[in-house]
């Protein structure tokens, strides 16, 4: 049995009281304490017996996300081990699920231990798809997880009724116990586990009335808070497997090129601790007895590479640059595909009193996450494969890993540790992932291998947010109000690149989101999608298309206001006349900021400041943002961000607040500083010294107001970001008179108006 342990010194028990992670059987057997109610996968029964025991003799294949037996293990001490369909990466999903299930199960969320479930059909809880992303986890599973808890509670009540010989209706529950108040008797959930396991679950269990919620809607402390605060949280880079080799990698300088020769391979093999040197697709790797030795060896390699192709998505040419790519987006004349159309834009422009035009762009962005990419691959003696890797789609990674390894998917076990951040980094982006390298090296060396990319390799290989460009034309009436709007979104998005075969839409939603479905009452509108392919490896980035498109749209809306002699806040209020939800939110953010004032004005500290406002509708939630800025040495300084968010309904307001604050910081970092620059086919920044990110000095105060409108539940992880760039840029325009249409702001030298 292979033992996987954290690299840091461990207590006898692993974080959260878990036993050390061990190699699982092919069916993903979880360690089962004697007498536990295993509402979980992997009983050592034949399939027919397992199905009969869990679901009854007439059972049929369960609907994903409904079988209690796939998710919960109630232990003898009445604590619960939950196998989550989602990956925890700082967004707080483990705590949110514990609150949601615990509410209906009647068990304190603090008594939950949560791990990411292995690949399996039970966890495809949303339309047969399992994914942690798109700010979708809580809202997609809320009702299903409530029902899961309620169903488990009902099974425990039935088991208790039989044991106490009383009617089930005479029983109630209280934080992990079944109570028979008439006789004063009580049974802990752990005592009922074995009996409850034998009962088939019901599918008609009622859910709690929300007015009786005890934990849902409360700022319950995060389950991972203690481990993260004490350094006990275990990430992929903290794990090791007995006997494993460490691998460092150097990638080709141009995407799509391959190693040709290594001039000093023999000398590198002779370096201390070196095990072997390997040619990989687009890279060369060195394995050694420590990662530091592997890295020093790989840095010493003298590799010659094939020449990059002239054109095409498979390779980045030696002449490619981000400046040239933006020029191609700007100059394209190909017709677009209508993504949205309302009214008669042509007629609106024909009769316009004034026409306003502008073009906006936003750069390539790196994920620049603190956790460097890594993966551990270990082939077992039976030929099966264990993989420990950060990911957001376990089943997808299982399928791809199986192809790389030459195995059937059920012979590949994916272990999904806590992520050191999401931001869209942990999807599959071809060469931008280390796990295929780990598989190939483990197969070649016949040893477990951990691949860990250096910071420089990560910056060089990270899949980037696409370069974005949009062109606007607005028609204004005699009263200065917009009567027509034409928009063209030009470029390529990650949905079309990586999921085009699934969604099969001619319009890539990740290119147009944030430009379409706006709540403003502009009667005549047309939005076109113009696809221009980009040869670099593009990716999802926090809030995806919204991260740039809301900047484009909301900034241009301020230009419309200026051209029409309107205050930008008042214009938005007028255009939201048919949307009370949005008007309420906009007024709420103004109240949070102490009232709307555009400026420029003099602050209490004597600095000259101004404010900008924006709105965004990302991932099922609505946000309104106000930013207050000043200038210092020609740079914008953001003092305050006020953000009102309406996600419809909230599970944990403390997590919502922290997620909005974190998203705002990332949005501000992109607004002020971040850009990936290509010259000569290569990225110029290979570490944080050349890719500055937001520092403590630039971090403003952030105040968050949560508005629960009762609308369908929206997302949380990403919606706080898109409103920040336009609010800041609109404030800069109010302060300086300069309209910045290209991010980041660090490219512009600003001066007072």
289-313 burial: b if 16+ Cβ within 10 Å, else e? eebebbbbbbeebebebeebbeeeb
The answer to whether residue 3 scores a pLDDT higher than 80 is: no
Report which of 214, 225, 221 is spatially closest to residue 176, judged by C-alpha positions. 214
Percent helix, strand, coil in the chain, to 5, is: 30, 25, 45
Q: Is 100 helix (H, G, I), strand (E, B) or coil?
A: helix
Quick: pLDDT tens for 500-535: 888 889 999 999 999 999 999 999 999 999 999 999
pLDDT at 6: 55
More confident residue, 276 or 63: 276
Task: Please enumerate in sequence order all residues whose Cβ is within 8 A of that of 382, keeping only pairs 6 or more positions apart, or say none.
Answer: none
Choosing from 452, 487, 504, the residue where a domain stops is 452
The answer to whether residue 59 scores a pLDDT higher than 90 is: no
Q: How far apart are the first and last CA of the chain?
A: 70
pLDDT at 309: 78
DSSP one-letter string for 266-318: HHHHTSTTEEEEEEETTEEEEEESSHHHHHHHHHH--EEEPPPPSSSTT---T
Place of tokens 């990270």: 462
Bridge partners of 185, per DSSP, are: 180
How many Å apart are CA 753 and CA 631, to the nearest integer?
A: 11
How many Å apart are CA 631 and CA 750, to the nearest integer?
A: 8
Q: Chain-wide mean pLDDT for the chain?
A: 90
Lowest mean pLDDT segment, chosen from 202-206, 297-301, 442-446, 586-590: 202-206
Confidence bin at 69 (pLDDT 50/70/90): confident
Report which of 473, 365, 363 is spatially closest to residue 740, judged by C-alpha positions. 363
Lowest mean pLDDT segment, chosen from 27-41, 449-463, 487-501: 27-41
How many Å apart are CA 176 and CA 191, to the nearest integer?
A: 10
Instruction: Give how far Cα 747 sits from Cα of 363, 636, 665, 673, Å.
Output: 11, 11, 19, 8
**Residue 313 within a domain:** no
Nearest 5°: phi and psi at 656?
A: -60, -50
Q: What percent of the chain has pLDDT over 90?
A: 84
The answer to whether residue 295 scores a pLDDT higher than 70 is: yes
Does one domain contain both 430 and 561?
Answer: no
**Residue 753 within a domain:** no
The answer to whether residue 39 scores a pLDDT higher than 50 is: no
The answer to whether residue 15 scores a pLDDT higher than 90 is: no
Average of pLDDT values for 562-575?
A: 98
Bridge partners of 469, per DSSP, are: 361, 490
Lowest mean pLDDT segment, chosen from 35-49, 100-114, 454-468: 35-49
**Residue 581 within a domain:** yes
Q: Is 410 exposed, middle or buried (0-12, 13-18, 19+ CB in 10 A)?
A: middle
How many Å apart are CA 697 and CA 690, to the nearest integer?
A: 18
* 368, 688 contact by CB (below 8 A): yes
Lowest mean pLDDT segment, chosen from 4-8, 13-17, 77-81, 427-431: 13-17
Does one domain contain both 496 and 584?
Answer: yes
Choosing from 173, 200, 228, the residue where a domain stops is 228
The answer to whether residue 488 scores a pLDDT higher than 60 is: yes
Confidence bin at 50 (pLDDT 50/70/90): very low
Does one domain contain both 562 and 642?
Answer: yes
Nearest 5°: phi and psi at 654?
A: -65, -40
Report which of 498, 255, 463 is spatially closest to residue 369, judged by C-alpha positions. 463
pLDDT at 52: 32
Helices 546-563 + 724-736 axis angle, to 10: 30
Average of pLDDT values for 366-374?
A: 94
Does one domain contain both 169 and 247?
Answer: no
Residue 742 DSSP class: B
How many Å apart are CA 88 and CA 101, to the nearest integer?
A: 16
Counting the structural domains of the chain, the total is 3
More confident residue, 406 or 70: 406
pLDDT at 129: 77
Report which of 90, 92, 38, 46 is spatially closest to residue 69, judged by C-alpha positions. 38
pLDDT at 1: 41
Tokens of 602: 């003099």
Query: For residue 303, is it left (φ>0), alpha (ψ between -120 and 50) or beta?
Result: beta
Which stretch of DSSP H or E encloses residue 50? helix 47-55
- List helix spans (H) across 504-545: 509-512
**Residue 334 within a domain:** yes
**Residue 157 within a domain:** yes
Distance of CA 90 to the CA centre of its chain: 10
Average of pLDDT values for 353-363?
A: 98
**Residue 35 within a domain:** no
How many Å apart are CA 741 and CA 726, to the nearest integer?
A: 10
pLDDT at 57: 32
**Residue 18 within a domain:** no
Q: List the CATH number of the domain containing 167.
A: 3.30.365.10
Does one domain contain both 635 and 534?
Answer: yes
Quick: pLDDT tens for 22-34: 333 322 222 222 2
pLDDT at 4: 63
Task: Please enumerate in sequence order all residues whose Cβ is within 8 A of that of 63, keeping only pairs 6 or more positions apart, or say none.
Answer: none
Choosing from 228, 256, 285, the residue where a domain stops is 228
pLDDT at 637: 97
Residues of the domain holding 136:
68-228
Report which of 91, 138, 140, 96 is spatially closest to residue 114, judged by C-alpha positions. 96
pLDDT at 47: 31
The answer to whether residue 682 scores a pLDDT higher than 60 is: yes
The answer to whether residue 45 scores a pLDDT higher than 50 is: no
How many Å apart are CA 380 and CA 443, to the nearest integer?
A: 11
Nearest 5°: phi and psi at 245?
A: -95, 155
How many Å apart are CA 626 and CA 615, to the nearest integer?
A: 9
Task: Please enumerate in sequence order all residues whose Cβ is within 8 A of that of 538, keeping only pairs 6 or more positions apart, or say none.
Answer: 463, 464, 465, 466, 492, 493, 494, 497
Instruction: Give how far Cα 706 sits from Cα of 95, 406, 522, 585, Å.
Output: 19, 50, 28, 9
Average of pLDDT values for 257-286?
A: 97
Average of pLDDT values for 78-90?
A: 95
More confident residue, 422 or 261: 261
More confident residue, 133 or 19: 133
Does one domain contain both 594 and 494?
Answer: yes
Does one domain contain both 630 and 546?
Answer: yes
pLDDT at 203: 85
Does one domain contain both 162 and 93?
Answer: yes
Does one domain contain both 160 and 291?
Answer: no
pLDDT at 46: 32
How many Å apart are CA 620 and CA 160, to the nearest integer?
A: 42
pTM for this entry = 0.91
Does one domain contain both 79 and 119?
Answer: yes
**Residue 55 within a domain:** no
Average of pLDDT values for 396-414?
A: 97
Does one domain contain both 470 and 338?
Answer: yes
pLDDT at 683: 95
Confidence bin at 67 (pLDDT 50/70/90): confident
Beta strands in 664-700 (DSSP E): 678-679, 682-683
Average of pLDDT values for 428-435?
A: 93
The answer to whether residue 261 scores a pLDDT higher than 80 is: yes
Helices 546-563 + 653-672 axis angle, to 10: 70
Nearest 5°: phi and psi at 402?
A: -65, -40
- For the beta sheet containing 177-180, the strands, ordered from the edge strand earlier in sequence to the opposite edge, are 172-173, 177-180, 185-188
Does one domain contain both 630 and 718?
Answer: yes
Q: Is 653 exposed, middle or buried (0-12, 13-18, 19+ CB in 10 A)?
A: middle
Confidence bin at 308 (pLDDT 50/70/90): confident
More confident residue, 316 or 254: 254
Report which of 593, 583, 666, 585 is spatially closest to residue 627, judged by C-alpha positions. 593
């Amino acid at each position: 049995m292979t033992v996987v342990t954290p690299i840091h010194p461990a207590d006898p028990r692993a974080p959260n009281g878990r036993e050390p992670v061990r190699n699982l059987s092919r069916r993903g057997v979880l360690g089962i304490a004697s007498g536990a109610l295993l509402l979980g996968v992997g009983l050592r029964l034949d399939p027919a017996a397992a199905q009969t025991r869990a679901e009854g003799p007439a059972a049929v294949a369960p609907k994903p996300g409904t079988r209690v037996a796939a998710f919960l293990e109630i232990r003898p001490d009445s604590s619960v081990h939950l196998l989550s369909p989602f990956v925890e990466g700082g967004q707080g999903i483990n705590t949110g699920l514990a609150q949601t299930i615990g509410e209906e199960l009647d068990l304190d969320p603090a008594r939950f231990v949560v791990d990411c479930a292995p690949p399996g059909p039970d966890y495809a809880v949303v339309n047969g798809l399992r994914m942690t992303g798109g700010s979708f986890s809580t809202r997609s599973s809320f009702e299903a997880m409530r029902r899961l808890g309620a169903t488990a509670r009902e099974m425990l009540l039935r088991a208790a009724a039989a044991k106490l010989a009383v009617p089930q209706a005479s029983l109630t529950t209280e934080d992990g116990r079944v109570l028979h108040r008439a006789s004063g008797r009580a049974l802990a959930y752990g005592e009922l586990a074995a009996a409850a396991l034998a009962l088939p679950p019901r599918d008609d269990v009622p859910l709690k009335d929300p007015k009786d919620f005890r934990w849902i809607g409360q700022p319950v402390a995060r389950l991972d808070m203690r481990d993260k605060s004490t350094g006990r949280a275990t990430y992929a880079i903290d794990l090791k497997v007995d006997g494993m080799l460490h691998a460092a990698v150097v990638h080709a300088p141009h995407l799509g090129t391959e190693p040709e020769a290594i001039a000093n391979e023999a000398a590198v093999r002779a370096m201390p601790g070196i095990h072997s040197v390997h040619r990989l697709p687009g890279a060369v790797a060195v394995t050694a007895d420590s990662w530091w030795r592997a890295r020093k060896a790989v840095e010493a390699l003298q590799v010659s590479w094939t020449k990059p192709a002239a054109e095409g998505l498979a390779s980045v040419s030696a002449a490619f640059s981000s400046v040239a790519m933006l020029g191609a987006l700007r100059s394209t004349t190909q017709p677009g595909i209508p993504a949205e159309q309302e009214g008669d834009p042509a007629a609106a422009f024909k009769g316009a009193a004034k026409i306003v035009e502008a073009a906006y762009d936003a750069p390539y962005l790196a994920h620049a996450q603190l956790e460097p990419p890594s993966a551990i691959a270990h082939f077992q003696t039976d030929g099966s494969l264990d993989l420990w890797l950060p990911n957001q789609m376990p089943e997808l990674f299982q399928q791809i890993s199986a192809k790389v390894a030459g195995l059937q998917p059920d012979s590949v076990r994916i272990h999904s540790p806590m992520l050191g951040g999401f931001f869209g980094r942990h999807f599959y982006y071809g060469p931008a992932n280390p796990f295929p390298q780990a598989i190939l090296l483990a197969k070649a060396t016949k040893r477990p291998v951990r691949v860990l990319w250096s910071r420089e390799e990560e910056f060089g290989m990270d899949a980037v947010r696409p370069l974005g460009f949009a062109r606007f034309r607005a028609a204004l009436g005699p009263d200065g109000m917009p009567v027509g709007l034409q928009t063209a979104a030009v470029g390529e998005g990650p949905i079309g690149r990586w999921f085009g075969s699934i969604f099969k839409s001619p319009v890539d939603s990740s290119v147009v989101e944030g430009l379409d479905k706006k709540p403003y009452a502009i009667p005549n509108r047309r939005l076109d999608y113009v696809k221009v392919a980009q040869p670099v490896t593009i990716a999802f980035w926090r809030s995806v298309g919204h991260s740039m498109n809301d900047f484009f749209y909301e900034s241009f809306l301020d230009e419309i206001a200026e051209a029409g002699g309107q205050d930008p806040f008042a214009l938005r209020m007028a255009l939201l006349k048919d949307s009370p939800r949005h008007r309420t939110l906009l007024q709420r953010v103004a109240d949070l900021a102490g009232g709307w004032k555009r400026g420029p004005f003099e602050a209490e500290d004597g600095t000259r400041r101004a404010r900008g406002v924006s709105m965004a509708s990302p991932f099922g939630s609505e946000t309104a943002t106000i930013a207050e800025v000043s200038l210092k040495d020609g740079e914008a300084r953001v003092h305050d961000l006020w953000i009102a968010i309406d996600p419809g309904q909230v599970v944990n307001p403390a997590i919502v607040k922290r997620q909005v604050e974190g998203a705002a910081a990332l949005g501000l970092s992109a607004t002020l500083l971040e850009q990936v620059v290509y010259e000569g086919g290569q990225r110029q920044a290979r570490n944080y010294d050349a890719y500055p990110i937001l520092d403590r000095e630039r971090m403003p105060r952030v105040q968050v107001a949560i508005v629960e409108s009762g609308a369908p539940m929206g997302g949380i992880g990403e919606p706080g970001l898109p409103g920040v760039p336009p609010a800041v840029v609109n404030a800069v325009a109010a302060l300086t008179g300069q309209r910045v249409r290209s991010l980041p702001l660090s490219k512009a030298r600003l001066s007072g108006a």
